[in-house]
Structures are given as structure tokens and as C-alpha cells.
Amino acid sequence: MKKLLLNIITVLSLALVPSAVLASYQLEQGPASYPDLPPSHWAYDAVTFLTDKKVVVGYPDGLYRPDQKVTRGEFATMVIKTLGLYEKDVPLIFDYKDTKNHWADRNIQVASYYGLVKGYPGGYFKPNDYVTRMEALNVVLNALSPQNIDTEQAKHFVSIYQDYSEIPNWALIAAGQCQMLGLVYNTPGHETTLEPMRYALRGELAKFLFNMADAVKRIPSDKLKSEVEVAPPASPRKADGYILDNVYYDEEYAVIPEGTVLPMTVDRCLNAKTAKEGETFIARTPFNFVTREKYILIPVGVQTEGRVHKVKRPLRFVKNGYMALTTTNVIDAKGIPELKINATLGERDADMRIIRNDPYLTRTRYNVIHGQNMYIHKGQRVNFVLLEPIRVKILRDDI
């Protein structure tokens, strides 16, 4: 069963809201805002968050320069500042041949002591080399205690990227874990590629570091457990709703089995007489889907994209037409694809907000409408049937 679920796993896990990264280490504070980082910029929230925490600052000209590359020494400094380790007094036990006279030597030593960064064979750290996206993600992951996965599982998580074959072997499992935990950020226009070996930019590193700062409160590494404030375990979130009786548990996940009926509403009129194959629609959860214990599995207001999979026109005087509807992925209220949604619970018209970039109901499929029911009204409740299981984490109070 676990192997089957692997192929369709959709994780409703840590709710990670993106945020910010570090800037020039020479300055002690940054401006309230950066001229090159307006509120509409994709890195604005992240950079603002870390600027307020004095993790990052701007350059002497007042700019943040979100598209500038970052060295390994600079990134080591960013990481320990984000984690509150900058002032820690640790033994300087790492004998890197190329950092003794470098401005970031002590910061690299601190990052190494806590297992966040590592050197290269031969005793070198290469502090002036630019950090790649995969190197940065690996450092972020080193601050956490992720769930163990194997190579097959890692490939499942990163296979959503067109260039996943470019991930080096040493980084494959780490890349899968980062994707599973929602630590990855892809800049606009690059959503379908991971670009693991591209030099990371200051703006996207801000996103990585904020995700790390949020996740470390829940799953810190063993070396960081005594150094960071760990959030108490969250209780499962409960609410009234539509009970799914056949749900069972697989370790920390709830599994909604194949064949489960999920009544959802559709956003438009569909008629077998006029509908075209490939025509799109939106299906939405009209209430919370819950377990027998009333633990929330799928909150009210979650939306999925769908399309008319197949249509058979009714004959004159013979109502034998039908439509097969298929859902694809979850979208948010603005129509952005492949995003998990969190809704205000208990409301019919939920307030939708983006949480992270995992599909949620990726494999929810077919509902066949035929005979007298060949016409679907806007807002009509339609019974969708799962063709494959859905494996989700139960919503908790910290999500």
C-alpha cells in the first residue's frame, strides 16, 4: 500500500509562508524599504521580514539588489544570523585552509559547528565562491530534522521539475526533502524548473531562509534543539463537516481511499448538448471534509481545476447523453496553478490564501453525468469519485 501511495502522495504538512534573506555584512542596519524592492516584488515580504530582524541590510546606495549573487561566506553568515547563532561562543575546531584571514572565518566556524555547512575535500571551504541553489537548499535542510525518504521517493517529489535530471546524485534526497517540506522557492517564470546548479540570488535566498526559520520551530536538527525556540506539538484541528467514514491511517497520514465520493460544487453551467471536451471549470469544497473524529482532512473553500474529460451528445427524444468530469490540481482564488490552499474554516465563502506549492487533490477524478442529469447548473453539487487514494496530513492548529 505504501508503494502505491508513494505515486500519488500529496502532503498537507507544514504551512510555510515565504519570507526574507541577508544583505551586505558591512552595514549594521537597513532602510525601512528598498527602492529596488517595491511591495509588488516577489521577494518583498521575505526581505522585509529579515531586515526587521537585522539579518539582512541594503547596500550603501540604499538598494537591496535581489538579483545579485551571494558567496558561500556571505551565506554562512546569513544562516547563523537567521537562526540566532551569530553571537554564540563555539570552539573553533574546523581547520579550513582558505578561511583563516577571511572576514567570515568565525561565521563559517559557527555554521560548521552546528552542522549547517561543510567544506570541500582537501580542507577547503571556498568562501568566495558563489553559492548555488542546491548548495543553499542543502544548508537550509541541515538546520532541520526531515522525514527520511529513499531515492525513489525523492525522485517522485522533484519529478515535477523539467530539469530534475540535473540534480547531482549527492543532492537528490536532499532536494526531495526540501520539496516535500515546501522549502523551495522558484522565481516567477521559472516555476517548472529547479535550476539546482544555478547561482542563487539574494532575493530567492531570502525565501529559502524564511522557510527555514519557520520550519526550524517545528523540526530543528539535533544540534539546534537546545538553541532555538521549538513550537509545542499542535493539536489536530476539528470542525463540523462532511464525514468520510472510510478514512484510515498510515503512520502520521490519513488516507482517503480510492472510490471515496467527494461532493463538490462547480462554478459554471455544463450541458452535454453544448459542452466540449477539454472545456475547463472549477470545483470547490462546499464544506469541511472530516474524519469520524471530526479532524479536518480537506477544508471548506478548497478549489480544484477541472475539465470536461469526455462528452456524449444526447439523441433527440433520447436522453442518453453524458459528461465525464476530471479534476486536475488545486488552485488559489487568483487561479494560480499547483498551490495548496488554506481556507477560513466553517465559512461557505472561504478566505483563500496561498500556503505552499504542493498540489493537493491532484488525483481526484471522474463524475459521470447521464440521462436526466446531463445538465449541471452553476453551483450545483456534483459527486466526484477518487480513482486513486489521497494521502494527506490532518490539519493542525499551527497551520
176 and 246 belong to one structural domain? no
* pLDDT of 352 higher than 70: no
Grid cell of 7 as nine digits = 505515486
Residues 197 and 304 in one domain: no
Q: Is position 380 within any domain? A: yes
- Which residues, at least 6 apart from 42, have a Cβ–Cβ distance to it below 8 Å? 187, 188, 203
Between 390 and 157, where is the model more confident? 157
Residue 354 has φ and ψ, to the nearest 5°, of: -75, 135
pLDDT tens per residue across span 365-388: 455 555 555 667 777 778 887 766
Q: Note whether 156 and 52 are same-domain residues.
A: yes
pLDDT of residue 338: 32
How confident is the model over 230-241, as a mean pLDDT? 73
Q: Determine, yes or no, domain membership for 168.
A: yes
Amino acid 196: pLDDT: 96
Q: Give a yes or no: residue 232 inside a domain.
A: no
Is 236 within 8 Å of 206 (Cβ atoms)? no
Last residue of a domain, one of 176, 200, 215: 215
Amino acid at 266: V
Domain count, the chain: 2
Q: Which of 241, 251, 203 is nearest to 343 (CA)?
A: 241
Do 204 and 336 belong to one domain?
A: no
Stretch 111-138: mean pLDDT: 96
Instruction: Assess if residue 226 is contained within a domain.
Output: no
Rounded mean pLDDT of 254-263?
Answer: 81
- With respect to residue 174, please indicate whether it lies within any of the assigned structural domains: yes
Cell of 302: 478548497
Question: Among residues of the chain, what percentage have pLDDT more than 70?
Answer: 74
pLDDT given for residue 337 in this prediction: 34
Tell me which of 199, 215, 231 is where a domain ends: 215
Average pLDDT over residues 163-187: 91
CA distance 336 to 331: 5
Residue 190 and residue 257 in one domain:
no
**246/167 same-domain check:** no
99-108, 110-119, 130-139, 272-281: segment of lowest average pLDDT? 272-281
Closest CA to 204 of 132, 117, 104: 132
Do 70 and 7 fall within a single domain? yes
Choice between 226 and 367, residue whose per-residue pLDDT is larger: 226
Find where cell 540566532 sits: 84
Name the percent of the chain lying above pLDDT 90. 29
Q: What burial class does residue 199 get, using C-beta atoms within 10 Å of its C-beta: 0-12 exposed, 13-18 middle, 19+ buried?
A: middle
Q: Is 109 in the same domain as 62?
A: yes
Question: b/e for 44-54, b at 16 or more Cβ within 10 A?
Answer: bbbbbbbbebe
CB atoms within 10 A of CB 151: 11
Question: Does position 125 have pLDDT exceeding 90, yes or no?
Answer: yes
Average pLDDT over residues 64-75: 94
| 14 — pLDDT class (breaks 50, 70, 90) | very low
Higher pLDDT, 377 or 360: 377
Backbone angles phi, psi at 109, to 5 degrees: -60, -45
- The stretch 78-96 carries a mean pLDDT of 92
Domain span including residue 73:
2-215
Distance CA 386, CA 44 (A): 39
- Would you say residue 231 lies in a domain? no
Task: Read off the CATH number of the domain in which 358 is found.
Answer: 2.40.128
Running DSSP on this structure, what letter comes out for residue 164? G
Q: For residue 46, which of 59, 34, 29 has the smallest C-alpha distance?
A: 34
Domain end marker among 177, 197, 215: 215
Same domain for 67 and 144, yes or no, is yes
Band the pLDDT of 315: cuts 50, 70, 90: low
Residue at 255 is within a domain? yes
Evaluate if pTM is beyond 0.75.
no
> Would 223 be classed as within a structural domain?
no
Question: What is the pLDDT at residue 132?
Answer: 97
Q: Are 267 and 185 in a shared domain?
A: no
Three-class SS string for 18-74?
CCCCCCCCCCCCCCCCCCCCCCCCCCHHHHHHHHHCCCCCCCCCCCCCCCCECEHHH
Q: Are residues 75 and 201 in the same domain?
A: yes
Instruction: Inform me whether the pLDDT recorded for 206 exceeds 60.
Output: yes
| Residues 174 and 260 occupy one common structural domain | no
> pLDDT averaged over the chain?
75
